[in-house]
Amino acid sequence: MNNINKKPLLEVRGLVKYFSSGRPSWLSRQGKSVVRAVDGLNFSIGKGETVGLVGESGCGKSTTGRLILRLLDPTSGEICFEGKSITNLGYREMRPLRQNMQIIFQDPFMSLDPQMKVGEIIGEAIEIHGLAKGNKKREMIADLLKLVGLSPEYAGRAPHEFSGGQRQRIGIARALALRPKLIVCDEPVSALDVSIQAQVINLLIDLQNEFGLTYLFIAHDLSVVKHISDRIAVMYLGKIVELVDKKRLYTEPKHPYTKALLSAVPIPDPDLKRERILLQGDIPNPIELPSGCRFHSRCQKRRSKCESEEPELLNSGNGHYVACHFADQS
Amino acid sequence: MINVVEKRRSPPVNPVTGSEEFRKVNAPLLDVVNLRTHFFTKLGVVPAVDGISFGVEKGTTLGVVGESGCGKSVTALSIMRLVSNPPGKIIDGSIWFNGEDLIGKTEAGMREVRGNQISMIYQEPMTSFNPVYTIGDQISEAIIRHKKISNSKARKESVKLLTQVGIPAPEKRYDNYPHQLSGGMRQRAMIAMALSCSPELLIADEPTTALDVTIQAQILELLSRLKNERDMTIIIITHDLGVVAEFADNVIVMYAGKIVEEASTRDIFKSPQHPYTKGLLASIPRLDMETERLAAIEGNVPSGLNLPSGCPFHNRCGEKMEVCESVAPVLKTVAPGHNVRCLAIN
């Protein structure tokens, strides 16, 4: 968290991903329903930095994580890793690059192959990339298990023998196996109990300090994101609505959605009296996006401009980016 | 047949809080006494709920806090007598509600209670609604059954309920299927269903865990409003201490099937006594505080098949003493209304 290099490790420009539902709908001009999951993202992550990506269901954060790793192909836009574009690289060209970019998944019960032993799960990538074989590989697997706080003996066991928190550690060991530079953490603690969450978060921070890792930390829990991130991007319906260092996000949020999100988080202090901003209604259907600003239908501050013009993500000073026509007026 | 306990002839003394006199004057709406629900599996017996006692006063909200496997959901299901038998069985205790022990009731008797006097909301709104019936029909079902009115009258009432829980275009939504509603709307519909017969007690089992945080805020706000309007008594089961702080009047903290601490919400947060409670509070990342490192509790929640000897928390406890490995602590009062199960507390 402390070594932030100036040159970005990862850069994303105009990233777009549309999913077509395939069936014609009278709503869409093209005759098919289109889900604009990610609709023009611009951000970068510096080496050693943790960028938190926050938002609610359907905002596009998981899709963003997968796009960066080329687990999904973008509809348009640029993804640059270490200065080089990886947007259009083919399968073979991506293969060696994958050693540098790994992922930890959300669901500890679905992300480990139940038919493989733990050692096989962790060692699979080592074998595929030809990094080690036989005893050397076994040694690496044992080291990785120890790194994540598990006994090397566990290599011979199957995933179902472990608790959620332990499985998540196995997933982390797997992600570390190739000594990547960047790890996309896709809601890695959401499915875990509170006390286990704390263990896993501490582990991720320790590993980052030890190996100089860079994280894209995707989550919906603002308290968790605050703890681990350096900068935070708030997403809503496929767009970044606010992007700023963590301190200012929590002390001076500018976007109405960010403010509502922050006020919605229950705080474990019974004496705290807060004014809660309650958003009206539900998150709109991503196939039927509101015109203008995507948030206007739920925004208490909306005015006529908001219904017709989509705001751009602009620097409102000191690297604090907001996408709102009236961000500076409280 | 679940009928192991003899029906008592007079209301029992809650062994933990209050004297017989006190209880006669201030009888709680729900009084659970020494409840034990065990699961008899091929691998052994799991004491999911192992001797818990608590009372809920009318008009108050009780928060039941604990992590996976502590027995909080089984407690709720036991109160509703919905524990599957086999493998689960209530093997001991009483559940006093309106002067009757629910454990002694027949299934037919319980059917009159469920949805009518005691209602429950579940965690996963998608899986708790029947996907092949409209939500309107499912809400009306309970109304027709308990109030014995016509279909069209029940429909009118259901639509009124849908409005009360803040669902827009309720006439249209009545005819929707569960999958046509968002998570937040389904949860509102489930609340409407639970409230349809004006129950005295509402049990909410992790009602907002599966929802986005802004929707969670809406649902909690709704429950708050309904609580005040209808003077409801609520038991809210959750692992989210933030929700408890905002919503509950009193709290019980569960671990390995037992209550390890119980107190008013204020006391639990301001002066937690049990090492597990303290550990839970310290391990939460706080939006309103700066913390360098989260104080995690070491180890894992034990499996019900393999509980440690003595105090079930000792192998994860920072304040453990040697005696904790062999002696199981009992609940002791440390302050008025504040009880703790720990040998390290005087």
Provide the mean pLDDT of chain B: 87
Q: For residue B167, what pLDDT is reported?
A: 87
Banded model confidence at residue A270, pLDDT cuts 50, 70, 90: confident
From B6's Cα to the closest Cα of chain A, the distance in A is 38
User: How many CA atoms lie less than 13 Å away from B335 in the CB half-sphere?
Assistant: 12
Task: Calculate mean pLDDT across residues B212-222.
Answer: 86
Question: Cβ contact (<8 Å) for A195 and B293?
Answer: no
d(CA B61, CA A154): 44
ipTM: 0.77
- pLDDT exceeds 50 at position B15: no
For residue B240, give the nearest of B48, B64, B62 by alpha carbon.
B64
Q: For residue A1, what pLDDT is reported?
A: 42
**With contacts defined as CB-CB under 8 Å, which chain B residues touch A194?**
67, 239, 241, 280, 283-284
Question: Cβ contact (<8 Å) for B213 and A220?
Answer: yes
- Looking at per-residue confidence, does B211 or B192 come out higher? B192
**Which among B217, B244, B283 has the least Cβ separation from residue A195?**
B283
Q: For residue B255, what pLDDT is reported?
A: 95
Banded model confidence at residue B17, pLDDT cuts 50, 70, 90: very low
Helix, coil or strand: residue A252:
coil
Q: For residue A195, what pLDDT is reported?
A: 82
Q: Is A210 on the interface with B (CB under 8 A)?
A: no
d(CA B311, CA B202): 32
DSSP class of B145: H
Question: Cβ contact (<8 Å) for B245 and A270?
Answer: yes
- pLDDT tens-digit map of A1-17: 444 456 799 999 999 99
Q: For residue A293, what pLDDT is reported?
A: 92
Alpha helices in chain A, H assignment, sequence order: 61-68, 91-97, 118-128, 134-147, 164-176, 194-211, 222-228, 246-251, 256-264, 304-308
Provide the mean pLDDT of chain A: 88
Structural domain boundaries in chain A = 5-107+183-191+213-322
Q: Which residue of B has its CA nearest to A266?
A: B242
**With contacts defined as CB-CB under 8 Å, which chain A residues touch B295?**
198
d(CA A111, CA A118): 12
- pLDDT tens-digit map of B245-279: 989 999 999 999 999 999 999 999 999 999 999 99
Q: For residue B168, what pLDDT is reported?
A: 83
Taking the CB of residue A224, how many other CB atoms lie within 10 A of it?
25
- pLDDT exceeds 50 at position B21: no
Contact predicate A54/A220, CB 8 Å:
yes
**With contacts defined as CB-CB under 8 Å, which chain B residues touch A222?**
213, 287
Question: Cβ contact (<8 Å) for B297 and A198?
Answer: yes
Q: Torsion-angle region of residue A323: left (phi > 0), alpha (psi -120 to 50) or beta? A: beta
Cis bond leading into B87, ω under 30°?
yes
From B242's Cα to the closest Cα of chain A, the distance in A is 4
- Contact residues for B318 (Cβ-Cβ < 8 A; gap 6+): B275, B279
Banded model confidence at residue A280, pLDDT cuts 50, 70, 90: confident
Question: Cβ contact (<8 Å) for A226 and B287?
Answer: yes
Task: Calculate mean pLDDT across residues B27-33.
Answer: 91
pTM summary value: 0.83
Question: Cβ contact (<8 Å) for A269 and B243?
Answer: no
In degrees, to the nearest 5, what angle opens at C-alpha A142 toward C-alphas A136 and A148?
A: 140
Banded model confidence at residue A330, pLDDT cuts 50, 70, 90: low
d(CA A313, CA A300): 20
**With contacts defined as CB-CB under 8 Å, which chain A residues touch B220?**
266
Q: For residue A278, what pLDDT is reported?
A: 81
- pLDDT tens-digit map of B103-143: 989 999 999 999 889 999 987 777 778 999 999 999 999 89
**With contacts defined as CB-CB under 8 Å, which chain A residues touch B221?**
276, 278
Q: Is A220 on the interface with B (CB under 8 A)?
A: yes
- pLDDT exceeds 50 at position B192: yes
Going from the C-alpha of B323 to that of each of A71, B12, B298, B329, B339, the distances in angstroms are: 54, 32, 20, 10, 20
Question: Cβ contact (<8 Å) for A283 and B182?
Answer: yes
**With contacts defined as CB-CB under 8 Å, which chain A residues touch B284?**
194, 198, 223, 268
Q: Is A151 on the interface with B (CB under 8 A)?
A: no
For residue B318, give the nearest of B286, B285, B282 by alpha carbon.
B282
Q: Is A165 on the interface with B (CB under 8 A)?
A: yes
Topology (CATH) of A5-107+183-191+213-322:
Rossmann fold (3.40.50)
Please state at what angle helix A134-147 crosses helix A164-176, rounded to 10 degrees: 130
DSSP class of A299: -
Q: Which residue of B has its CA nearest to A273?
A: B246
Question: Cβ contact (<8 Å) for A262 and B287?
Answer: yes
- pLDDT tens-digit map of A53-106: 999 878 899 999 999 999 999 999 999 999 999 999 998 999 999 999 999 998
Q: Is A262 on the interface with B (CB under 8 A)?
A: yes
